[in-house]
Chains A and B, each alone.
Chain A
Amino acid sequence: MHPQRFCLILVFFLSSYEVKSELNDYIYPNSNPSYSNYGTIGLIQMPSARSLPEGTIAFSWTDNKPYQRGSILAYPFSWLEASYQYTDMENALYSNVQAFSGDQTYKDKSFDAKFIILRETRNLPAVAVGLRDLAGSGYFSSEYIVASKKIKNIDYTFGLGWGYLGEDYGNPFIRIDESFRDRTLVDDTAGGEFNPGTFFSGPMGAFAGIEFFVPNAKGLRFKLEYDSTNYDKEGFSDPSNPFYLYDIDPQESKVNFGFIFPVNKSFNVKLGYTKGNTVSLGFSLKANFAKKDSIIKMDDPYVPTPNADMWKEAAETKKLYAYRIALDRLGKKRFFLQTASMDENETELEIAYTQSKYLSAGRATGRLLRTLDDVMPESIKTFKLTNLNGNVATHSIEIPRASISRYESGNNTELLKRHVKFTEKKYKRDQYKYRPDDRLPKNLSKITPAIRSQVGGPDGFYFGELALAYHSELILKKGLSVSTVATLGLYDTFGDLKQPSDSILPHVRTDIVQYLKSSKKGHIRHSSFNWFFQPSRNFYSKISGGILEEMFAGIGGEILYRKTFSNFAFGAEVWGVQQRDYRMLFGLQDYKITTGHINLFYEEPRSKLVFALKGGRFLAGDSGINIDVARKWPSGLRMGIFASKTDISKQEFGEGSFDKGFYFNIPIESLFGTFQRGLTPFGLRPITRDGAAVLNHQFKLWGMTDWKSAQTVFETWEDFYD
C-alpha cells in the first residue's frame, strides 16, 4: 500500500477513539505543541497556530537534507513566538568563490515571528499570522495565515502561505492592490532588512495537516500534512547561481508524515518523511523560566533561627548586643547588615543591608524580616529597612512587627502589604548609630569554570572555549571597588574560525575572530575600578576606569535619575575609550574614541514591558539611536529585542543592513535547587557588525537600581513568606 494512503486510513481509524476529558492529561501526557522541521511550532514542514506559555525558551534542531537547522525560540508573550534560525545549507557553497569556500557550506541566519491573533474557543480555531525569514537573506522568506482546532485527540491545521510557502494559486490580495501580484526581491540590499513591501505578495499556497495524539502511548504523536512549500524556488536551486553546489532531490510527494516522541514535558524527539524521498530527524528542548521550578525543583525553604528565644533574650540585655546579634544572624542567611539604629525607647529598629542571594525582592524582604522577628527584642514594634546595592540605596520599607507573623499562616501577602510603607531615601552611613567595622580593603574572590561561546557565526553554529575564570572583587572603601575577571584557557575550538572582518568602519566589534583566537591561552575579561555614589535621593552615579570590557579600556561615568516606583527614568553616560589589542591583556591598539549616550527608560506597568532608548555616539563614531524592548518576570527572567539606526548607510554597515537582535537573561537559580541572585545573559545578533556598537561596561546603573522598580518589588511581594 502507498504510505500516504496507509497513513490516511490509520488516522481515520484512530480518530474514533473517545476518552473522558478529565483523564486526557494522563492518556496524552506531555501534549504541548511540538516543533516542525523548520524549527518553529507546527506540523512537519508547515506551521500551526499553536504557541507555548509566556516565559518559555526553547531550542530545536533538525536534519532534513539538504538542511541542518538549529533554532532558538523565545515566547515573551503567549501570543508571540520569536525565533532565530541558523541553517547549514549543504547544497550551496560558503561563498561565491569556490577556492575560498573549500568544503564549507552555506550558513543562513534569519529571524521569524508568529502572532496568535485569535485564541481557540469551543467552536472557533486558533488563528495565527507568521513571518518567516523576515530580516535575513530571504531564502526562506514567507508569510502565512494559519488556523488550528483540536477536536478530541486530533489537532487539525489549515493555512495559506506566500513566498517560500506559495504554490501557484492566485493571490486574493490582488483585488485590494495590484502590488500583491508579484513578489519582487529587493536587489539593493545587504540582507537583514525588513521588506514589508513583499509581504503576502506573489502566488499563494494552501497547506493542511493533522497532529494525532496516540492514546496511552506516553504522549506519542503522529503527524500528517499536505506541504505547500515551493521547493523549485528554494535558495540555490538554480545551477547558474555561483553558490550552487548540487541539485536537491525534487519533491516526489506533497504529503509528509512524521512522529513526535515526547521523552518528558521538556524534551521531544522527532522523526519524519518529507517530499516523498527524505528522512528527517531532530529534537527539541524547552523550559519555562518564568516559573519558580522551571528545571530543578527549589529546595531552599526559610529556616527559622535555631535557639531564637536565647538570641532574643541576649538581645534584650543591651542595644549593642541586639545590633551584633542582628549582624550575626542575618549574616548566616547571607544578608549583610551595613548599619543599624534603634530609637531611644527601643521600639524602632532601622537597618541598611545588602544581600547576595535573592533575585526576588519580596522573598529577600520576607526572610530578612522573619529573621529579625525571631531574634530582636520584643520591645521593637517597627522595622525599617533600606536595601543597598553598591552602597547606594534602592528602596526603603517600614513595617509593623506584629503584621509579619499575623499573615504568615494564611500566606496573605496582599493584606500584609497594606501595613507596609514603601519609601525612598539617600543612604548616609553617618546617620546610623551602629556602623560595624568592615576592615577594608577586602578581596572577595573565587575560581569557576567558564565557557566562552561564539554562536551562529558564518564558520559554524557553535565555537567554544572551556576555561578557568578568576573572579575578584577588591573592595577599597564603601562604594569603591575593583572588579576583575581573568581566565585561563583549557580547551577551545576557535582554531576553525576564519571569517575575517570586511567592515569599512573602524573594527570595534568585527575583529571578534582575532580576539577569540589570540586570547585563548588566557585573557583579562575586564578589570576596572567602579565608584558608586548617590548625590541625592534619586540620583545615582558611577565612575569607572580600567579594562572596561573585552575590547575596550578607558574611563568614564554614568548618571541616572530614577525615582522609587516611578515608571520613568533617565540618565547619561560618557566614556573615553581605547581599543584593546587582540591578546586581551594590558596592550592597546591605536583606535580611540569618546562615546556617550542619553538614556531614557520607561516601564509599562500593564504589559510589563521595559522600553530603553539610547541616543548618542557609538563606538565606531556613528551617531544615532538604539531601542530596546524587554519583558521581565517576577522569576527574574528577561527577554528583549533591540535595534539601532545610526547615520551610516546600509552599505557602510555591511551584511545585515542595521544592528538588531534579541537576548534573554535566565535566572541562574532555575538550574539549581537553591536561590541564587545571578542572571545569565544570552544574546544573539544575526551578524556581528561595527555600526551601532555600544560599550559593555560593568554594573550599569539601571540594573543596579532594579529594586527601585515597582514591578520588581510588587510583583515579587507574594514570595514574602516563601
Chain B
Amino acid sequence: MIKFLAVLIFTLIISSCSGISYQQVYPLLKQATVGAPDFIVTQEFINKKKFSFIKARFGKGRPVIMVLAGVDDSNIFQWISAKGEMLYTLNGKVIRSYGLPFNISYLRNVSPVFNTPGLIKTPLKLMNPNAYVTNNLLTTSEGIETLNFINPIKVKKYIIRSTINELNWSKENIYYLDLNTNYVIKTTQYLHPNLPKLEIEFYFKFS
C-alpha cells in the first residue's frame, strides 16, 4: 500500500511531460493494491516438471517455482528459482536463503523436531543488515487434518512459534506433515523480521 502511495504521489507531483503510459502504471498499481495473482499447481503441471519443485510465495507477491537443485548428506534440500534465488530446507524448514532482499542463515542445521515437540534455542544470522540473534523455536502438535493438495491428503499439523527476544519478535510458523511419506508438503513461515510470510508447497517427484 505504501508503495502504491509513493508511486501515486510522486506520479502526481511530477508533471505530465514524462509520457508515463497507462499500460505501465496499471499493472504496477494493481500489484501494489491487490497483489500478484496466485496460480494453482495442477497434475498436468507436475507431470511436465522433470524434478521435484516448490511453489514459494512471499506475502501477496508473485508465486515462484523453485526446482530441486540438490540434496546433501544432511538431507538439506537446495531449491533454486529461475532468477537465482535459493532456499535451503531441512524437513520443510528454511534454514538458509540467498538472493532475497533479506536473507537468513541458521548457524546450526536446525530441523523441526516433530516427534518430540518442545523448545529449541538456536543461533540465527540475519542479513541486510547483519545481526546475530537467538531464535527460540517452540513446537506444538495440532492434530491430523485433510489437506486439499492435488488430491486430499492426510496430514499432521505442527505449529512452531519462532521467537527472537532481542527484537521482541514472535511469529507462528505452520507445517503440514504428509502422514504417508513423512515429508512436509506445505508450510507457512516467517524467515526474517523484514520479510512477509512465506508460503511453500512442496511437490516431490520420487524416482
Partners in one complex: yes
| Interface of A toward B, CB cutoff 8 Å | 19-20, 22-23, 25-27, 29, 59, 72, 215-216, 263-264, 266-267, 285, 287, 295-297, 301, 446, 448-453, 455, 464, 467, 469, 471, 666, 668, 671-673, 676, 678-682
Say yes or no: is B44 at the interface (Cβ < 8 Å to chain A): no
Contact, CB under 8 Å: B16 / A285 = no
Say yes or no: is B19 at the interface (Cβ < 8 Å to chain A): yes
Residues of A within 8 A of B24 (CB): 672, 676
Q: Chain A nearest CB: distance from B80 CB in Å? A: 15
Q: A20-B166, A267-B2, A451-B12 are in contact. Are A678 and B101 (CB under 8 A)?
A: no
Contact, CB under 8 Å: A452 / B15 = yes
Which chain A residue has the least Cβ–Cβ distance from B128? A25
Q: Chain A nearest CB: distance from B180 CB in Å? A: 39
A-B contact pairs, 29 of them (CB 8 A): A19-B166, A22-B132, A23-B167, A25-B129, A26-B129, A26-B166, A26-B167, A26-B193, A29-B194, A72-B13, A216-B169, A266-B6, A267-B6, A295-B6, A296-B7, A296-B28, A301-B83, A448-B22, A453-B12, A467-B16, A471-B19, A666-B14, A671-B10, A673-B28, A678-B19, A681-B15, A681-B17, A682-B13, A682-B15
Q: Chain B nearest CB: distance from A296 CB in Å? A: 7
0/1 per residue, B1-42, Cβ < 8 Å to A? 011011101111111111111101100100000000000000
Residues of A within 8 A of B167 (CB): 23, 26-27, 216
Say yes or no: is B74 at the interface (Cβ < 8 Å to chain A): no
Say yes or no: is B130 at the interface (Cβ < 8 Å to chain A): yes
Docked Cα-Cα span, A263 to B9, in Å, equals: 16
Docked Cα-Cα span, A451 to B18, in Å, equals: 9
Docked Cα-Cα span, A464 to B14, in Å, equals: 11
Q: Chain A nearest CB: distance from B108 CB in Å? A: 20
Contact, CB under 8 Å: B7 / A666 = no
Q: Chain A nearest CB: distance from B114 CB in Å? A: 29
| Interface of B toward A, CB cutoff 8 Å | 2-3, 5-7, 9-22, 24-25, 28, 83, 101, 126, 129-133, 166-169, 193-194
Apart from A72-B13, A267-B5, A679-B18, list 9 A-B contacts with CB within 8 A.
A19-B166, A23-B166, A26-B133, A287-B6, A449-B20, A471-B19, A680-B18, A681-B17, A682-B15
Contact, CB under 8 Å: A295 / B11 = no
Contact, CB under 8 Å: A264 / B10 = no
Which chain A residue has the least Cβ–Cβ distance from B126? A26
Across the interface, A266 reaches (CB within 8 A) one of B2, B28, B166, namely B2
Docked Cα-Cα span, A666 to B13, in Å, equals: 11
Contact, CB under 8 Å: B7 / A27 = no
Contact, CB under 8 Å: A295 / B9 = no
Which chain B residue has the least Cβ–Cβ distance from A674? B24
Residues of A within 8 A of B133 (CB): 23, 26
Docked Cα-Cα span, A449 to B18, in Å, equals: 10
Q: Chain B nearest CB: distance from A595 CB in Å? A: 22
Q: Chain A nearest CB: distance from B77 CB in Å? A: 26
Contact, CB under 8 Å: B3 / A671 = no
Q: Chain A nearest CB: distance from B111 CB in Å? A: 25
Contact, CB under 8 Å: A453 / B16 = yes
Residues of B within 8 A of A29 (CB): 194
Contact, CB under 8 Å: A668 / B18 = yes
Residues of A within 8 A of B168 (CB): 215-216
Docked Cα-Cα span, A679 to B101, in Å, equals: 27
Residues of B within 8 A of A452 (CB): 15-16
Contact, CB under 8 Å: A23 / B18 = no
Contact, CB under 8 Å: A22 / B193 = no
Docked Cα-Cα span, A168 to B18, in Å, equals: 51
Which chain A residue has the least Cβ–Cβ distance from B24? A672
Docked Cα-Cα span, A22 to B167, in Å, equals: 12
Docked Cα-Cα span, A285 to B169, in Å, equals: 27
Contact, CB under 8 Å: A296 / B3 = yes
Residues of B within 8 A of A471 (CB): 19
Docked Cα-Cα span, A467 to B15, in Å, equals: 12
Residues of B within 8 A of A295 (CB): 3, 6-7, 10
A-B interface, 3 closest residue pairs, ranked by CB to CB distance from nearest: A680-B18, A216-B168, A450-B16
Residues of B within 8 A of A680 (CB): 14-15, 17-18, 20
Which chain B residue has the least Cβ–Cβ distance from A20? B166
Residues of A within 8 A of B166 (CB): 19-20, 23, 26-27
Contact, CB under 8 Å: B22 / A671 = no
Contact, CB under 8 Å: B2 / A264 = yes
Q: Chain A nearest CB: distance from B124 CB in Å? A: 12
With most chain A CB atoms within 10 A of its CB, the pick from B24, B130, B169 is: B24
Q: Chain A nearest CB: distance from B201 CB in Å? A: 23
Which chain B residue has the least Cβ–Cβ distance from A466? B16
Contact, CB under 8 Å: B21 / A26 = no
Across the interface, B11 reaches (CB within 8 A) one of A22, A216, A467, A671, namely A671
Q: A27-B167, A216-B167, A471-B19 are in contact. Are A682 and B14 (CB under 8 A)?
A: yes
Q: Chain B nearest CB: distance from A683 CB in Å? A: 8
Residues of B within 8 A of A26 (CB): 126, 129, 131, 133, 166-167, 193
